[in-house]
Amino acid sequence: MRNLERPGRSPVHTPNGMAATSHPLASQTAIEVLKSGGNAMDAAVAACAVQCVVEPGSTGIGGDNFCLYAPNGTDQVVGFNGSGKAPAAATIDYFESQGISEFDRRSPHSVTIPGAVDAWSQLLSDHGRMTLGEVLQPAIAYARDGYPISSRVHADWTASKALLAAEDSTAAIFLPNGEVPKVGQMHHQKALAETMQSIADNGRDAFYRGKVANDIVEYLQGKGGLHTVDDFAATKGEYVTPITTEYHGHTVHECPPNGQGLFALLLLNVMSGFDAGADGPITTKRLHQELEACRLAYRARNAYLADPAFSDVPIDEILSADYAAAMRAQINMAKATIPPADIPLTRHEDTVYLTVVDKDRNAVSFINTLFHGWGSGLTEPNSGVVLQNRGHGFSLERGHPNCIDGGKRPLHTIIPGMVTKGGKAVMPFGVMGGEYQAFGHMQFLSRYFDYGLDIQEAMDAPRMMVDPDTGEVEIETAVPQEMRAELAAMGHSIVEPARPVGGSQAIWIDWEQGVLTGGSDPRKDGCAIGY
């Protein structure tokens, strides 16, 4: 339990239903859906749709979605991959012929076909009680009638001003009068409201066929994109079998590749072999162990993670005890190992995560993304749809498992999580923050299970992350200076993060007491609420 004399927030406890999101309007929307007779899936989609309006830099209907769902709180967890694919014509042959060796963020080639709307439609049809048209109404109202800009949203908006200004259609919506809206100022997205209403009236095909798809394709092709209306019409997410590992007597479930959940499980396996120690999670020794495990796991991620429909991703070997032990053995307890070792096998930023549990204990772990803030920065002007830049997840190295190809899904950073025990779901959870997410899953669960922090304290604790590209260690300023100096002396290149590291939400299900306990990350504007 936290020291009540210090600033902070307590976990939220409720008996019936609960939602935890990164925006209060989304959390409230979810509870209203639950109280009006909807279930957890209805509430999750409704809340996410609201976030696509009120957190426009973090997510949108031009992005992707993943979901883990525990029906009636059982451990028979259902996974769904709603990540979009590259256009059919986007082959390595094409890019080599054009002399393109990397994608600029604002390039149309960074835009993959959005999968979120299709995912919402399928998940509601199969697991919800309400229609897509019904659950979209709160989001449509906020887009049409306006919503106030909240503090973290404003900070992210300000950080992206140059990107927003670079595209006329984006600036027209998100820089009214050429400026970032102020905190508390009302903002509208009229074109997006009309698009969402069309989806509400006509279903997911209103996005993937007809005017909206045609407009997006014409817009991207005008910039040199390879997208076609056939690419949009062919979009369809799929159910997947979750992958798991055991941690402190609990089973941790993740979506399989092309998402990086595999490497969250690997990190748990590696860290489970270390003595957590009695001094808490923020010690030089523990942080060094975590950072070194991060270097090794992300090196493996970059080498092996890809769309399994195109590449053989060695899931069983990566999750084996032998592989975790080999990785653990490479960690030098006295100094940072840069570059990290390649442990051979025997053969990327802004996102919203939310979770909802209803009175029947249906549990939803739900994540939706544009990747970087405002994705590609490209907005189709007629529909108001901001387009993701998930194509940045591809490699343009011929022969690499994650090399771009037509109809292929890129390496994905967004990963919902679910914990089960004794045949029941006990905690849907998730972490936002692009590359951080796999490492963040390990940090959150370690702080909760290894150190006994409550669900809110486990989110509040200081965070850090090795940048997989530069090797620099971003450490939040809440980590004591003397500890930062000790890590630097061990060879870690310490830098302050440009903004708080990630965000998170979680709900613990106490089956014996019939109580839900939720937490929401203080680095975001949101909250956990229930009834």
pLDDT band at 347 (very low <50, low <70, confident <90, very high): very low
User: How far is CA 416 from each of CA 16, 78, 256, 290, 387, rounded to the nearest angstrom?
Assistant: 23, 12, 11, 21, 21
State residue 80's pLDDT score: 98
State residue 348's pLDDT score: 40
Residue 8 has pLDDT above 90, yes or no: no
pLDDT tens-digit readout, 363-408: 999 999 999 999 999 999 999 999 999 998 899 999 999 999 999 9
Q: Which two tokens stand for residue 37?
A: 């007779």
State residue 470's pLDDT score: 85
Report pTM: 0.96
As a whole-number percent, the residues of the chain with pLDDT over 70 amount to: 99
pLDDT tens-digit readout, 47-85: 999 999 999 999 999 999 999 999 999 999 999 999 999
State residue 85's pLDDT score: 98
For residue 182, how many other CB atoms are within 10 A of its CB? Answer: 11
Residues written for the chain: 531
Residue 433 has pLDDT above 90, yes or no: no
Residue 443 has pLDDT above 60, yes or no: yes
- What is Dmax (Cα atoms) for the chain? 64
For 303, phi then psi, to 5°, come to -85, -35
Q: Which two tokens stand for residue 400?
A: 């690499």
CA nearest neighbour of 134 among 17, 42, 205, 41: 42
Residue 510 has pLDDT above 70, yes or no: yes
User: How far is CA 233 from each of CA 125, 136, 227, 357, rounded to the nearest angstrom?
Assistant: 19, 21, 11, 33
State residue 66's pLDDT score: 98
- Residues identified as active-site: 351
Which of 18-22, 120-124, 398-402 has the least mean pLDDT?
398-402
For residue 184, how many other CB atoms are within 10 A of its CB? Answer: 10
Mean of per-residue pLDDT scores for the chain: 95
* Arithmetic mean of pLDDT, 232-243: 98
Q: Which residues have a Cβ under 8 Å from the Cβ of 80 and sit 6 or more positions away? A: 65, 66, 67, 68, 69, 119, 122, 123, 237, 238, 239, 240, 255
Q: Which residues have a Cβ under 8 Å from the Cβ of 409 and sit 6 or more positions away? A: 81, 83, 84, 85, 86, 112, 258, 307, 309
* Arithmetic mean of pLDDT, 232-254: 98
